[in-house]
Chains A and B, each alone.
Chain A
Amino acid sequence: MSTVKKRKISERKMVPVYCNQCVAGPDLLRVEVEDGVATRIESNYASASSHPAGGRVCVKAYGLIQKTYNPHRVKQPMKRTNPKKGREHDPGFVPISWDEALDLIAEKLKGIRARGLLDESGYPRLAFTSGGGGTPIQYMGTWPAFMSAWGKLDQGYGSGQGLKCYHSEHLYGELWHRSFVAAPDTPLCNYVIDCGNNVEASGGVQGVWRHADARVRGLKRIQVEPHLSVSAALSAEWVPIKPKTDPAFFFAMINHILLETDWRQRCDIPFLSGLTNSPYLIAPNGFYLRDPETGKPLIWDLTDQRAKPFDAPIGEPALTGSYTASGIEQGADQDRWEHQNVPVSPALQKLIDHIRPYTPEWAEKECDVPAATIRRIADEFVDHAQVGATIEIEGKTLPYRPVAIILGKTVNNGWGGYEVCWARTVLVTLVGALEVPGGLIGTMVKLNRPATSRHLSAVPMADGFMFYPFNETTEAGWQRNPDIRNAYKTLVPLVGHSPWSPALGPAHLPWLFQKEQPKNFPRQTNPEVWICYRSNPSISSLAASEVAERISEFPFTVCFAYTLDETNYLADVLLPDATDIESLQLMRIGSTKTVEVYWKHEGYAIRQPVTDRKVVDCRDMTDISTELARRVGLLKEYNEAINRGAAGVKLHGEGFDYRIDPARENSVEAIWDASARAASHELSGGGEVHDLAWFKEHGFMVREMSQLDWYLYSTIKEKGMRFELPYQERILRHGTQLARRLHGAGIEWWDRQLAEYEPLPHYASYPEIWINYAREVGRDPAEFPFWALTARSMQYSWGANAGIPLINEVATNVAGHKGVIINRSSARSMGIAEGDPVIINSPVGETRGFAVLREGIRPDTVLMIGQFDHWATPVAKDLHLPSINSLTAIALSLTDGTGSSSDLARVRIRKGDGPKRAN
């Protein structure tokens, strides 16, 4: 018999917590505790009936225990003794007491309040950065309440967002279909074209679970991507496209459908006519032709050959052709034209004319995909759409279009991001698969309000579309002097002004402007105090080492530190960070969220210290927030913010009031007890109110929600709205106005970005932008013949997992986690063998690693998974793994109109000296 130590399942002590290390969370788990020591982790299977992935957590969650007992943790508050900052200067951290640390910080903060929150340039003197796609919020307790109490602060210093996110999709997705991230309705979908979205690596447990089910059911996925990613591996077909040419692939698909096939027989005509701007007439200057009386856009009615307002009864709206009509055209600012009997065409005709040059043969040359393949995929896509089919969900009949197209990072951010998002959404729109069962659907809103409901955020505006919170570009409304250093309101109308907007603005620009003052712009200043929480911009940003240099220039930096890392190495004060299983928080779970998170439940879950036995002298973030609020003199404002819901749960509402006393310091337990009661009250309508102890024992509480909430279609229809596709009149207007404002202010360095504001975007050869970048820094593009790309590591991504040996052990089972992936034939031609040390250079940077030879990658491309090149983080710095972030550049020429760049670089690769990789 086996002598394995017996632990009766029934006798274990299991503590429920949640994991939200990635944006696809939270997922629920249980931590086993023996004699006050957290020993093992498993999924919280009690959530299996409500959680969309059977209650499972992914590989990362299992690293939490080792993370907690990591001997390299920062064990107590520390302060810097070496005034010189930089990678080459030992910070000389010495331990200090919590009191001393908090006093130090509070003194700085009080000094700011005494002198004013804004500095002489109008920028906030306090800046705060966190990473991980917003996931740190699920760990920072009541810190958001502190920030709310503080007032104006700069949250626009990027730690990698823009490149590491679905940037153009975030912005345009919210504009077009309230879709911060778009996903296939996988459980009902039959055909997915996936350009570089590694849902099996970045879609969380739910992405994996849903696609596995769909795959064995027969969903056919076409993965279009330069390397054979995990998702490509699991797809029915892999199309190894040239990097950054995805828009060309889509343009040619549209061309084939509209110009080479009988699209009227195959596309969703009622959808195009009634639910999009396809029939809107476009006047000579590119704006809608409008009714002179009402100002409403006009549609040509074929039944009586007349132009009518879009919302009038129309017999048969014209989608194609040219007509002679009269009306007004409202351009940018006060531009206004009155037209009498001018030739006008519907937006769809404009699209057909626009797309004519982009033939499959043209695309073949551009993106290295055979024209026949493009045509076949376009046809498969249209055929699988089953135009005309319906489905009944919860008693309601809806269109059923089981096709979708999804986009990955690097594809939909940086130059080409707008074009690819537009073309993708147009393709889906042509077959009526937008926001219907089986089709392409949104997940959540971050830029629109209210944040809790896509449907409530979809309110009609004058032209028949959804309202969108553009930042103003009118003469009166434009923000000439930015209120934070990334100037998102000034430069990017589309990013809006929600609490998420600063982080979604051009978040790498502050690092650039700090080095090179932009002309005719407020003097770039450094924040007097910069607080960094659960983020390591010195590793995770593009041009990471340059960002580290900029951080070194900051006068006073506070880092919440788990271990020493490349950012807190440059800090003045370190506060030991509590791990996920050492502090307390209640958070909202369920509903629909990013990537593929689609629940049929919603509710709340808890995270709690799993044992009283302390590993290091860390404190709960809520406790720290309260302490700082008190010391800075903001206790009342802070408590009131908590009561308003700044920490995730509004403490009073209809029929309940669990507000905490604003005048006093409330304990961590008291704050979350009030939150627990308010949350359960709100969730159950008062029928089932639970205190903190109940949540600590049970872990979570949910109620059912309707699957119909997944689809925006009904809301659009019921509110008489249309999807603003394919024509982008508002983009044209804002672009024109923004250009006038910027030029009026003497700002010309944003001109390239202004060219992006086209109503129907043209294709530019996007690869050339990166190829030619070498010239900008005085190098010859021919020196750098390879593309360097990155891909998500499910095992490492977010959550400081690079320093966890257990994660490293299992991650190395997955190809690419031991070095840089190079095509085997390309490597051979350079004399590089498996495991050889290699040096990779871009025009601006260098990284080193070991060669991993694979067949599943284009011969002109190399791939570096995850983000490494650590030089301070214990364990991670000994991994000798390469990083794309050491190769990319921060440059305006590489920044698109939405303010993002792409995670790619042109590189050369050569064999390095030294021994081969050990394993």
Chain B
Amino acid sequence: MPQMQQTPSKLPRWGMVVDINRCVGCQTCTIACKHANDTQPGIQWRSVLDLEHGVFPNVQREFLVVGCQHCAEPSCVPVCPSGATKQRADGLVTMDYDICIGCGYCAVSCPYQARSIVHGKRWYFGQSTIQEETVQHEDRIGVAQKCTFCIERVDEALEVGADPATNTDYMPACAASCIAQAITFGDYNNPESKVSQLTRDNASFQMHKELGNDPQIRYLYELAATPGHATAAEDRSDEILSDAANPLVGKRQTFWDLRAAANFIFGGMGSSLAILASVFCLAGLIPEEALLKIHGSAGVIILTGLAIVGLEIGRKFRFLNVLRRPQSSWMTRETYCVAVFYPAILLDHLITIPGHHLLTGLAAFGFLYCQARILKAAKGIPAWRAPLIPWLIISTGMLEGAGLLLLGTASGLFDLAYTPAMAWIGVIAAASTGLLWKSYRKGAKEAGIPPLARRELEQISPLVSLAGHILPLVGFFLLTGFVGEGWLRDLTVTIAGMGAVLGGALWKFTLVTRASYHQGYDIPWLPQRGSGTRAAPARFGYSGTP
């Protein structure tokens, strides 16, 4: 690890200061970055947003430099299953394109929309040019990419004894190219550096500080001679933040689509079926002979989800890299659970020791739990990281499991005898899922779920509640003993069971693909300028009309 010369005892902590008072939104940094880093069409590691606050005539406009914040506590790093994304000792968050599998987990875990994945080559004119071919980076196709703070320049600077904070040849391209001196690069560990001075002498903010990433871009909004002010409450109203054309509003993520949703849908169903089967067996409510069929079915269901999500990753032949980060990634752990689950099913039927079904059940539960935590850890998507999401995933799983168990029993698929306990589990799961769903929605705004995402959730809520919670609840309750054998029970099982399964599928599909709006950007403090109430007060001792 190279070290800064002036602070030999201490590693640098690279970061940036962006002065909102200086930035003019010209996009010179954006395009200089595109040159320096050869990014593909449509990919901007650095860009500048054009914002408006207020309503005519009391309105102001400002420009916000965004990109990877090289967080001190980067939420993209622990989630990465392959270890392709790392944090260096000097704070820089790096990407290894040769390891990355392109799962997109880092991208949905970043609250700053800093990451992108491009599948395949792109050309500006639709056809390649010799220049684009010359600067083509094959290694970046199908994997995650983002701003590197021009890491190779910084490293080369240290190799040749130059200071990347002051030497424009070695500075990150955005900072060097800026025509307003709005972007300053430097070492926060060095108290003499300009970034340290600027943030020591002036008020600054970190974007989404409350999320705990400790981003290393600090924004100046007020200097000694230029006042600033807090963003008005009305600028953060639901109406304003529902405008998809507002650059502050997070875009809907596109990294995880139907294919990823399928894994949560099938995974939840299959794993919970396996769990319930194991538990029921352990409790003596299901004969051991029936387990193979049930676990087998569960295994097929889970495998279906896994196969589908496998189609989504950018570098499919590297899928085994998913196993490289068990120490922190729930996606890695999910895969390990799979690795235990299937052998456990086999094992179940080869050896018989007391409680041997438990391993299958535990692996299945581990799988379901990992799925719940995968979404929770995706910090970039407020609808996913909400506190109730893991509970909802697990509770829904139980509901789906009960539904499948009853459906499989009633249809004769599992060669099982009906037992009211199955229905009671369903009743409990339907009730708890219904309550959790309601509570999740009610707390959505408070949990920071943006209005556009809430709108998606609200749209499906009546159907989810009715078909996915109320019908199963009533149905399962009736099945606890109020309906006898016969067509009525079959009908009730079908309605309640299908409701449970489809209701779960619907909200998971919605959560993953529809309500999955990114965190968006935030600018809690603004320079004081604009018109009407937002205009700056007088400066330089203006004396007023004599």
Contact = CB atoms under 8 A, between A and B. Distances in A.
B167 to A, nearest CB: 9
Given A4-B37, A9-B153, A58 B179 contact: yes
Nearest to A825: B56
B264 interface: no
B130 A69 contact: yes
Interface string B238-252: 000001110000000
B35 A856 contact: no
Interface string A1-33: 111111111100000000000000000000000
A809 B535 contact: no
Interface string B151-179: 11100100010000000111001001111
Contacts of B173: 42
B42 interface: yes
B508 interface: no
A62 B31 contact: yes
Contact of A233 (B63, B224, B226): B63
Given A854-B52, A856-B59, A218 B539 contact: yes
B36 A200 contact: no
B169 A9 contact: yes
A375 interface: yes
B179 A4 contact: no
A57 B97 CA distance: 32
Contacts of A5: 38, 137
Nearest to A239: B531
B131 A65 contact: yes
A62 B348 CA distance: 65
A809 B42 contact: yes
A237 B530 contact: yes
A147 interface: no
Place the interface of chain A in its size category: 35 or more
Nearest to B22: A212
A191 B22 CA distance: 17
B98 interface: yes
A236 B56 contact: no
Question: Max chain A CB contacts within 10 Å: which of B34, B98, B244?
Answer: B34
A595 to B, nearest CB: 14
B180 A208 contact: yes
B24 A230 contact: yes
A228 interface: yes
A856 B52 contact: yes
A220 B37 CA distance: 37
B245 A834 contact: yes
A216 B19 contact: yes
Nearest to B180: A212
A42 to B, nearest CB: 7
A875 B123 CA distance: 13
A823 B56 contact: yes
A865 B244 CA distance: 22
Contacts, number: 254
Contacts of A807: 31
A37 B131 contact: yes
B221 to A, nearest CB: 11
B323 interface: no
A1 B96 contact: yes
B181 A813 contact: no
* Residue in B24, B32, B50, B182 with the greatest tally of chain A CB atoms within 10 Å: B24
Given A9-B156, A233-B61, A56 B539 contact: no
B296 interface: no
Given A212-B22, A261-B545, A218 B97 contact: no
Contacts of A749: none
A806 B124 contact: yes
Contact of A208 (B26, B94, B544): B26
A212 B152 contact: no
Nearest to A8: B156
B542 A383 contact: yes
Interface string B41-62: 1101001111010111101111
A813 B48 contact: yes
A720 B430 CA distance: 96
Contact of B529 (A9, A39, A66, A235): A235
Given A3-B139, A38-B131, A216-B226, A856 B61 contact: yes
A566 B127 CA distance: 23
Contacts of A53: 179
A361 interface: no
A9 B173 CA distance: 12
B124 A66 contact: yes
A70 B123 CA distance: 11
A72 B26 contact: no
Contacts of B531: 228, 237-240
B61 A45 contact: no
Interface string B1-40: 0000000000000000001011011111011101111100
B134 interface: yes
B536 A71 contact: no
Contact of B21 (A34, A71, A215, A859): A215
A58 B26 contact: yes
A56 B542 contact: no
B135 interface: yes
A236 B529 contact: yes
A220 B536 CA distance: 9
Nearest to A262: B546
A857 interface: yes
Interface in A49-70: 53-59, 62-63, 65-66, 68-70
A646 interface: no
A859 B169 contact: no
A35 B156 CA distance: 22
B505 interface: no
A209 interface: yes
A135 B98 CA distance: 47
A811 interface: yes
A703 interface: no
Given A9-B156, A856-B56, A857-B56, 4 more contacts: A35-B134, A62-B31, A375-B545, A383-B542
26 contacts: A2-B148, A3-B98, A4-B137, A5-B38, A7-B152, A39-B135, A56-B177, A59-B26, A59-B28, A59-B30, A69-B130, A71-B129, A191-B540, A200-B26, A212-B180, A216-B22, A228-B60, A233-B63, A262-B546, A376-B545, A384-B542, A806-B41, A809-B41, A823-B56, A854-B52, A855-B59
- A-B residue pairs, 3 tightest by C-beta: A218-B225, A233-B61, A236-B536
Interface of B: 19, 21-22, 24-28, 30-32, 34-38, 41-42, 44, 47-50, 52, 54-57, 59-63, 94-98, 124-125, 127, 129-132, 134-135, 137, 139, 148, 151-153, 156, 160, 168-170, 173, 176-182, 223-226, 243-245, 528-531, 535-536, 538-546
